[in-house]
Amino acid sequence: MQKVALVTGSTSGIGAATVRRFAADGFQVVVHSRSSREAGLALASELGGTYLQADLSQEDQAAGLVPAVLDAHGRLDVLVNNAGISWPVPHADLDGLSAADWRRLLEVNLIAPWLLCTAALPALRDAQGAIVNVTSHAGVRPKGSSIAYAASKAALNHVTKLLAAALGPGVRVNAVAPGLVDTPLTADWTEAQELWKTVSPMGRAAQPADVADLIAMIAAHQYLTGEVILLDGGLNLR
């Protein structure tokens, strides 16, 4: 039976590149988004997959996403927690983040992945499958669009390790922590673009396919678990 991969937040950027990569690897793919329904339906149709819409900030919708995948496909082999939210708040602006902002970021970036992992666990155990969490360079280094965003990704990195320790050997759990990635969201981040171009050993930001290739490699690796792999073109060396 064909393996199935669910990639959250997968109608553009890293997520879209990831479902394309899994489809090329022979997976049945499930495309997900919160609001871009037309793009999701088009991509799923192109790849011969399924599209599901859910607002991951809503607990019932987040918890219901995996059961919808199982209803459609009967199995789940790989869960990629890619969906996330972010907006810029200078780190020194302590009044720029309200308690509501923190809750919103944590709901989508941390709690939703937890709910998805919990819901997916029985199917992933049956499949001897894998979870890949897409976190961020900001969860490893003191950087990022805001302190709350960086904290949410740092927490997800640690949850990755805790889950790997708890769920092995039946389910492998790893994370990819990208640095700057060329997407429509980052197109006008001129300062960050210049930093990666002039300082990182690779001399450029990542492309979405760079991240997708690593996600697919991690998901396929039968021994790798509990790792947070920094994908920043070597900027961490500087």
Q: How many Cβ atoms are within 10 Å of 100's Cβ, its own excluded?
A: 8
Task: Return the CATH architecture of domain 4-237.
Answer: 3-Layer(aba) Sandwich (3.40)
- pLDDT tens-digit profile, the chain (238 residues): 899 999 999 999 999 999 999 999 999 999 999 999 999 999 999 999 999 999 999 999 999 999 999 999 999 999 999 999 999 999 999 999 999 999 999 999 999 999 999 999 999 999 999 999 999 999 999 988 899 999 999 999 999 999 999 999 999 999 999 999 998 778 888 888 898 899 999 999 999 999 999 999 999 999 999 999 999 999 989 8
Active site residues: 149
Residue type, 101: D
62, 87, 86: which is closest to 6 by C-alpha?
62
What whole-number distance in Å separates Cα of residue 170 and Cα of residue 222? Answer: 10
